[in-house]
Each structure stands twice: as C-alpha cells, then as structure tokens.
Amino acid sequence: MDKKYISVDIEASGRIPGHYSLLSIGACHVDNTDIQFYRELQPRNFEFELEAMKISSIGLLCLKGFEDPEYDPKSNQFNPRAVLEILSKKGTPIRQALREYEQWIMETTKGFKPVEIAAPIKYDGGNTSWYMNIFDNNNPFGHSGDDIQSMYRAATGNLNAKLEDLGLRKEGLPHNALEDSVIQAKECQLVFDLIEQNRKIIEEYRSSLL
C-alpha cells in the first residue's frame, strides 16, 4: 500500500507526555498542505514547565484578543496557569479532539497507509502516540513514524545538517502547531525531492556499470 505522509506538530505544557498536557495539534498532508487539521485541547492537568509554556502560548488562537500581560509569553507578568485556565474553558475536550483527529486522518488518507512525520518525531510523535493510545485507544499511525531531520541528514550525507539549512525558517517557527506543520511539510517535500535526485544518480551510475 502506498504511503500518505502527514506532517504533525504539537505544542505542550512540558517536555514529556503523561506528566504534562498536549495543548494543540496541527497537521497537514505533505503533498498538499491545504489538507489541514488543527485543534486546541483542554489540558489534562495544570502541571507545566515555564519555558515550554512560553513557547506553546505564542501561537494559541484561544488567547487572541486578551491584552492582559499575564497571557503574553514575552511579558515578565506571564502566568502559565492563566493560559491553562483559558484552554480549560475554550479548548476542545481531549477525547473529542482525538476522535476528530483520527477521523480526519482516516478520511483524508483513504486507500493509503498514513505515516506520521515530524521534526523531531520523538517529541511530536511521542505526544500524539501517548494521547491517542491512552484517551482514544486507536492510533491510525500505529507504533511508528518518520523523522524529517534524520532523512535530511541521510540525503545530504552530513550528520550535522539541519533543516534550517533549507531556508524556510529564516524568521524561526511561528509556534502555532498548524503553521509549524505546514513549514515542516514544505521542508519534507524538499527532502523527498533530494532523495529522489540521489536515487536517479545512483540508478544512472549502476546502469553505467552494466
């Protein structure tokens, strides 16, 4: 079965799933970034790491219109708990968000094997996998996923290569999960193109030896 790659990005209240909360999921098809999914989730608890919340809060749509500095991650008055309280009121319930995500994956990849791809897959895929298996008991991606950074390093033959080298992150990531997933998808397509170029070069070289 042919694969359909889904670029996935998440924002969370801390470094590890289980202890902290998944705050938002953004996803899009690598071969068509207009096919998108985005949800902001109610937190499962009020545990947080300050630096994680400063990053995760930058692109949260639920904070639009709030001018109080306690919702501004760039303010010294930033209050992560206040952000989590807003998400508790405005976010989608966890099980509902995951059901809708699963349905979106299955409907938009019909006839293909859906493959989760991220940078890094350990973080984004680790969070989505934990949540989908704990709260939804069904993960369309199965137990695996692919890492864009690793693919890029393999394609360039440079273990120190970084996705930033592709030039799509000149101003950094916006840290909205959907916008980040779109940037990742475009980077992933560039990596796929590079892999295809390398494949053709290898095939031509092999043919020349015959």
136 pLDDT above the threshold of 80: no
Q: pTM for the complete prediction?
A: 0.94
* Per-domain residue ranges of the chain: 3-209
Q: What is the pLDDT of residues 137-163, one digit of tens each?
A: 789 999 899 999 999 999 999 999 999
Q: What is the C-alpha to C-alpha distance for residues 187 and 193, in angstroms, rounded to an integer?
A: 10
Q: What is the predicted pLDDT for the residue at 202?
A: 81
b/e sequence 133-163, b meaning 16+ C-beta within 10 Å: eebbeebbbeeebbbbbebbbebeeeeeeeb
Q: Which CATH number, 3.30.420.10, 3.30.70.270, 3.50.50.60, 3.90.1150.10, labels domain 3-209?
A: 3.30.420.10
Question: Among 79, 63, 77, 68, which Cα is nearest to 176's?
Answer: 63
Q: Give me the mean pLDDT over the 35-46 stretch.
A: 98
